[in-house]
């Protein structure tokens, strides 16, 4: 969606797929003096509701963004061999130059920085029994970096679909894509060292245009929920706060560890098993030797109530009542801010300013500790809400935010 030139806010528009493919192809030619076999791309995502539930066996509801990561790719050896090599470059990391490694040396503990997310997928697929050979790849992306919109998963998933086609893995159907999701999660968890759940990769690989993806993390089953805000006269405004989103600094891992420890203490496999009506009893039974018990209780309360909010949100969508989901978004943000403690001053200002300017509901989205917020707004109020948030950031002395409008887009695929 294009913006009015008079709007003082900074807007981040998605590239047309042909433009993204052209950019990645041109960069590949410059880097390798050769033509790629093709260009594959995968979207970033924004989560409507269901935060920090995926690694707790819960439900979440993301949509794919029209903003995508493009990977120009060329297979260099048919199968893994002692001399197979992976070579990677990124338009977003020009100073890093060309990264190169023997394919046999790609494994946990041996790859640092952004190449871990790309090369790690090849390692994970090989670990899953697939024959992966050497390859060259160049990345270009319009998914905002460090914004909590899943730029890392977009990279992983674009590489995954490229590897699938280039090496004939036969994983194009949804069941195969579930295996690609698993490989991307292993790459992120084990090679890149970020202990995230699987929501981002599932959305990027398995969502459908015009739909939200209801993901059940217990069995990885999905349901495609129609999501057409325009028909209701609404839009989803995304605010990139520019407070850099980092998941590998220990805070995310600490939340996950606390939840897993609480589940063990309560005698359940995951916190999904704690029903809302049993929450008070479960909280009363929690003790924690590693941190104050009250902190762990708040972590558990967020997860259990957030899963229930996802269920209510989907029920409203199914009933055609999208205009009624705002209070659930507001409650989700309060829970993430107060019980899970993953918000940030910039996120809180964005949410408060959007609501004051007329948003029906607003919340942080993604893992937190920076990143982005979302606001459900009337189509005619997009610019006014963005301007109000931009003014609030200026008044608070924060770096100016950037904005985009989220529309439920298509999953990872060959682009050219």
Q: How far apart are CA 342 and CA 251, in angstroms?
A: 8
Q: What is the CA radius of gyration of the chain?
A: 21
Pairing of strands 361-365, 372-378: antiparallel
Cα–Cα–Cα angle for 147, 149, 152, rounded to 5 degrees: 95
Active site residue 200: yes
Contact between 120 and 69 under an 8 Å Cβ cutoff? The reply is no
- Look-up of token digits 């060309």: 98
CB count within 10 Å of CB 164 equals 24
Q: In the chain, what are the domains?
A: 10-226 (3.30.230.10), 230-406 (3.30.70.890)
**From 164, 200, 240, 339, the catalytic residue:** 200
- Across the range 387-397, mean pLDDT stands at 97
Query: Does position 122 have pLDDT exceeding 60, yes or no?
Result: yes
Q: How far apart are CA 142 and CA 69, in angstroms?
A: 6
Three-state DSSP class for 141? strand
Phi, psi for 242 (deg, rounded to 5): 70, 5
**Which tokens go with 212?**
């939200």
**Which tokens go with 207?**
């969502």
pLDDT, tens digit (0-9, with 9 covering 90-100), for 130-150: 999 999 999 999 999 888 899
pLDDT, tens digit (0-9, with 9 covering 90-100), for 295-346: 999 999 999 999 999 999 999 999 999 999 999 999 999 999 999 999 999 9
pLDDT, tens digit (0-9, with 9 covering 90-100), for 265-303: 999 999 999 999 999 999 999 988 888 999 999 999 999
CB count within 10 Å of CB 293 equals 14
**Which tokens go with 246?**
């980092």
Tell me, yes or no, if the pTM score tops 0.85.
yes
DSSP state of 190: I
pLDDT, tens digit (0-9, with 9 covering 90-100), for 78-93: 776 678 999 999 999 8
The string of DSSP codes covering 2-56 is ---TT--SEE-PPPPHHHHHHHHHHHHHHHHSS--SEEEEEEEEEESS-TT-GGG
- Look-up of token digits 């943000």: 333
Residue 280: partners with Cβ closer than 8 Å, 6 or more residues away? none
């Amino acid at each position: 969606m294009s913006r009015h030139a008079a709007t003082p806010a900074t807007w981040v528009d998605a590239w047309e797929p042909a433009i993204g493919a052209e950019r990645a192809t041109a960069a590949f030619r410059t880097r390798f003096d050769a033509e790629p076999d093709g260009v594959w791309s995968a979207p970033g995502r924004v989560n409507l509701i269901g935060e920090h539930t995926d690694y707790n066996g819960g439900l979440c509801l993301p949509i794919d963004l029209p903003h995508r990561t493009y990977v120009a790719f060329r297979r260099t050896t048919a199968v893994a061999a002692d001399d197979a090599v992976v070579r990677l470059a990124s338009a977003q990391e020009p100073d890093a130059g060309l990264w190169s490694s023997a394919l046999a040396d790609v494994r946990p503990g041996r790859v640092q920085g952004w190449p871990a997310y790309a090369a790690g997928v090849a390692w994970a697929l090989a670990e899953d029994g697939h024959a992966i050979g050497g390859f060259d790849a160049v990345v270009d992306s319009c998914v905002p970096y460090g914004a909590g919109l899943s730029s890392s998963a977009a990279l992983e998933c674009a590489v995954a679909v490229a590897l699938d086609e280039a090496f004939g893995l036969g994983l194009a159907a949804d069941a195969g894509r579930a295996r690609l999701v698993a490989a991307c999660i292993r790459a992120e968890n084990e090679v890149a060292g970020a202990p995230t759940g699987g929501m981002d990769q599932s959305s990027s690989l398995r969502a459908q245009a015009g739909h939200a993806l209801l993901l059940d993390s217990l069995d990885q089953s999905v349901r495609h929920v129609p999501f057409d805000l325009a028909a209701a006269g609404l839009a989803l405004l995304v605010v990139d706060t520019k407070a850099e989103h980092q998941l590998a600094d220990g805070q995310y891992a600490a939340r996950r560890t606390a939840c897993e420890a609480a589940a063990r203490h309560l005698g359940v496999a995951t916190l999904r098993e704690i029903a809302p009506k049993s929450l008070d009893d479960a909280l009363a039974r929690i003790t924690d030797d590693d941190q104050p018990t009250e902190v762990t209780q708040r972590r558990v309360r967020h997860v259990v109530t957030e899963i229930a909010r996802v269920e209510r949100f989907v029920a409203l969508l199914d009933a055609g009542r999208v205009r009624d989901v705002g209070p659930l978004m507001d409650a989700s943000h309060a829970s993430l801010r107060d019980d899970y403690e993953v918000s940030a001053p910039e996120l809180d200002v964005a949410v408060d300013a959007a609501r004051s300017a007329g948003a029906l509901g607003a919340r942080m989205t993604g893992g937190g500790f920076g990143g982005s917020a979302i606001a459900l707004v009337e189509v005619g109020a997009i610019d006014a809400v963005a301007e109000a948030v931009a003014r609030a950031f200026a008044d608070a002395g924060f770096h100016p935010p950037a904005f985009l409008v989220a529309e439920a887009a298509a999953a990872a695929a060959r682009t050219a």
